[in-house]
Amino acid sequence: MVVLQNNLVSRKRDHTRPLLAVFILALAFTLSACVRDESDGSGLGNTAAAPGGNPTTPPDDTVPPPVDPDPPITPPSATDKLAFEQHLYPILVDANNFCVGCHGLATIPAFAVADSNAAYNTVVSQQKVDLNNPDLSRLYLRPAVDRHNCGGDMICDAIATDILAGIQAWAANAPPPDPTMQALMSSTTSFADGALAGLARVDANVIAKFNFDEGAGDVTVDSSGVGAPITLQLTGMEWVEGGLRNVSGRALASEADSRKLFDMIAPVNEYTVEAWVVPDNNAQDGPARIVSYSQDGQVRNFTLGQNAIYYQLRNRSSDTDNNGTPALEQLNPQIATSLTHVVATYDSTGRKIYINGQLSIEENLNGITLNWLDTQRLVLGNEVAVERLWQGVFNMVAIHNKALTAAEVQQNFDAGAGNIISLRFDVANILGAPSYIEMQAAVLDPFSYVFGRPTFVSDVTGIQVKNIRIGVNGAIPVAAQAFRRVDTMAMNSGTELSPLGAVIPAALGMDNDQFHLEFEVLGGQFGMAESIAPPNPPPPAPDLPEPEFGIRTFSQINDTMSTLTGISANDNTVRNRYSELKDSLPSTSDLLAFAAAQQIAIQQLATTYCAEIVTDAGTCNNFFGSCDIAANGKTQVADTLYDRLIGNNIANQPARAGVTAEVVRVIDDLGCANGCTGATSQTALNATCAAVLSSSAVTLN
């Protein structure tokens, strides 16, 4: 279960809030290439000193990306290729159907090229058609449903009709499978045929639990079996595969139903709130309410919420106010828009937050007690008064009247979000004895499933298993067939065949999709593997001109930022953040290898350096002259950043006027158009400082 789950999936300061402004402004500067050479007095040339003072050249990343093995090179049936060329290919290369303009040139997939062999290979190997179900073919759905680059509705419908007719004609004239080489297939199964799987959860003290498995209707009901069940009334929510998505509303319990929480938690003075969620984005704040037991925006017993890039727990106790503040806010990791296990606990020693089984932050107090009200209401995705919207998917929510231990939190993380199904693929017809391949499977999202832990179960031993593919409704999806890599001997029953996970596209949904396995080798039987002819060799790529500029590598970027800001690279906060981001920063000076993710990491590091400036009054005043921004002082901020971080008399530097305009715009956008002080001023200074520090004016060599 741990393997399957893994395949699924310092306290925050105010300076993290302006990340969006940093990103926009840094991109604006990056459009203007600049060079900082060794003669500018900064000592920042093409080679930077490491923190210890010795020059260093960071190593290149030489690890190749993982790839699927090449399919067997077996020529396709001449009859099948001829049927494609006669019925579908002329439609694809017809200029009136608009495909040639993109997919006949450099746009991938290249299925409308002049070489019909290459076009056939693309269509077959990437499964752009479904000859068993032509109306499910991707080539047809793109104009028919997506309206992809085909003009108005009437034109799109006409093109879709032509393409569907071509696929149907191809299917009608496709040759039958070669009887001497049939697919080696297991039996067919489905989610309805499977059984619940997964590790045991720690639920001995659960008093409310929502699995969101109703799938329809306007209520979801507590399934804990403890006391009277809590019913949540749904508004502005929609059911999705495996859970419930909050779009614009909430899930709200009555005061009477919610009273169970008070009655069962207040006397024991401890509790845990646990959730499996998928946030829509990491810009929701307030905090946005994920799970709340409250009255309104100012009065609560507890709230588990999202505050931009961090999770937060508010709890009303002898150590906090009526709003549960000061809140406990996690340190790391930042919120990801993927399936996440979030757990918050409280007892007399304080609060803790765990993310994906790992402790993120904790308090160390003693003797605190709850100061709860019995009139609060349980609500998910918002406040009772609909004023703190959280958008995302709920897969599970549980409330325990016990503070779970670290080991218990880890166990519940390992057990997963629930709805994990054990599927059995019978292969007795192949091996001649009772045998099956067992896999754990779950709905990942409305568009895909995840499969893991393929296990061979049989009294027959010494069975060779090679190249497993998962079929959906009689077809084998190309995408993410991770078990193609399997090539092993199952010496014992219970042999796990692969540690990988495979994400397989959904077709008709979990209630209707049927699954089977196909093998290249199983025991002494040999089956059909992929039969795709190679295209003609592509022309050699033209020589790319060497970029005039290079990008600073990770240690150079860190040392440059330290020198420009005056903040030591050994500052604890900076050092910790650099350690987190080092692997995401550029490892080579090759500008052609520079990626957007590296720019984001550069911006995060710059934000940390600038935060160390603006959060210390003395440092801030020394750097900017004043930490307060006067109404007529915005240009002075821009000049300070230009002079300190970009410099003067440097070749190809961005123009001062352009930088000033962008800096002033961001200051205005962050609420300082007429001047500002305090936290608002700190936010604006941090945003503009980080934007300039992470721009190409600093990072390019």
- For residue range 19-51, list pLDDT tens digits in order: 333 333 443 333 333 333 333 333 333 333 333
Lowest model confidence (mean pLDDT) among 92-96, 304-308, 347-351: 92-96
Average pLDDT for 144-171: 87
- Concatenated DSSP letters for 312-361? EEEE-BTTS-TT--SPEE--SSPP-SS-EEEEEEEETTEEEEEETTEEEE
Residue 380 and residue 384: Cα distance in Å, rounded? 9
The H-or-E segment that residue 5 falls in is helix 2-8
Separation of first and last alpha carbons in the chain = 47
Query: Contact at 8 Å (CB) between 371 and 316?
Result: yes
Residue 71 falls inside a structural domain: no
Q: The pTM is what? A: 0.47
Same domain, 493 and 562: no
Q: What are the tens digits of pLDDT across the range 69-88?
A: 344 344 566 778 888 889 99
Residue 175 to residues 85, 117, 128, 320, Cα–Cα distance (Å)? 14, 17, 18, 75
Q: Show the beta-strand stretches assigned E in 338-429.
A: 340-347, 350-355, 358-362, 377-380, 392-400, 421-426
Greatest mean pLDDT range, 542-556, 568-582, 643-657: 568-582
Nearest residue to 208 (alpha-carbon basis) of 432, 12, 377 = 377
Residue 3 maps to a domain: no
Residues forming a β-bridge with 232: 220
> Are 573 and 436 members of one domain?
no
At residue 58, does pLDDT exceed 60? no
Burial class (CB in 10 A: 0-12, 13-18, 19+), 367: exposed
Residues whose CB is less than 8 angstroms from the CB of residue 615 and which lie 6 or more positions away in sequence, other chains included:
13, 15, 682
Rg (CA), the chain: 30
Stronger pLDDT, 28 or 324, i.e. the higher one: 324
Residue-level pLDDT at 542: 62
On whether both 431 and 514 belong to a single domain, the answer is: yes
Q: How far apart are CA 97 and CA 222, in angstroms?
A: 53
Could you tell me if residue 199 is inside a domain? Answer: no
pLDDT of residue 61: 36
Boundary (domain end) residue, out of 415, 445, 479: 415
Q: What is the pLDDT of residue 7?
A: 34
Q: pLDDT tens for residues 393-426?
A: 999 999 999 999 999 999 988 877 766 788 999 9
Section 456-481 average pLDDT: 87
Sign, CA dihedral 579-585-590-593, equals positive
- 284 and 401 together in one domain: yes
Co-location of 162 and 188 in the same domain? no
Nearest to 131 by CA among 65, 177, 63, 192: 177
Confidence category of residue 123, pLDDT binned at 50, 70, 90 = confident
DSSP state of 174: P
Q: Are residues 400 and 253 part of one domain? A: yes
Rounded to an integer, what distance in angstroms lies between the CA atom of residue 512 and that of residue 473?
A: 9
Assess if residue 541 is contained within a domain.
Answer: no
pLDDT at 538: 59
Q: How far is CA 466 from CA 438, 454, 469, 488, in A?
A: 16, 12, 10, 6
Do 211 and 352 fall into the same domain?
yes
**39 lies in a domain?**
yes
Q: Would 72 be classed as within a structural domain?
A: no
Instruction: Compute the distance between CA of residue 104 and CA of residue 93 in angstroms, rounded to an integer.
Output: 7
More confident residue, 4 or 309: 309
pLDDT of 197 reads: 61
Q: Which helix (H) or strand (E) holds 572?
A: helix 572-581
Q: Are residues 220 and 336 in the same domain?
A: yes
User: pLDDT tens, 337-367?
Assistant: 888 999 999 999 999 999 999 999 999 999 9
Token pair 């646990």: residue: 274
Domain boundary among 415, 449, 479: 415
Total domains present in the chain: 4
> Is the pLDDT score of 55 beyond 50?
no
* 562 residue type, one letter: S
Cα separation, 411 vs 341, whole angstroms: 11
Q: Mind giving me the DSSP string for 36-101?
A: --GGGSS---SS-B-TTSSB--PPP--PPPP-PPPPP--PPPHHHHHHHHHHTHHHHT-GGGS-HH
Neighbouring C-alpha atoms within 13 Å toward the C-beta of 377: 21
Both tokens of residue 324? 């549960």
Q: Do 216 and 320 fall within a single domain?
A: yes
For the record, the structure tokens of 72 come out as 């067997």
Identify the weakest region by mean pLDDT among 32-36, 76-80, 192-196, 307-311: 32-36
Inside any domain, residue 379:
yes
Same domain, 645 and 604: yes
What is the pLDDT, as a whole number, of residue 390? Answer: 96
pLDDT for res 249: 94
User: Chain-wide mean pLDDT for the chain?
Assistant: 82
Range of the domain at 340: 206-415
Average pLDDT over residues 462-474: 91
In this structure, the answer to whether residues 304 and 377 fall within a common structural domain is: yes
Look at residues 379, 310, 307, 302 and name the one whose alpha carbon lies nearest to residue 345: 302
333 preceded by cis ω (within 30°)? yes
- For residues 115 and 536, what is the distance between their CA atoms, to the nearest angstrom? 8
Would you say residue 446 lies in a domain? yes
Greatest Cα pair distance in the chain: 86
pLDDT of residue 154: 84
Where is the domain boundary, 415, 430, 462?
Answer: 415
Same domain, 28 and 119: no
Angle between helices 678-693 and 617-624 (to 10 degrees): 60
- Residues for the chain: how many in total? 701
The type of residue at 517 is L
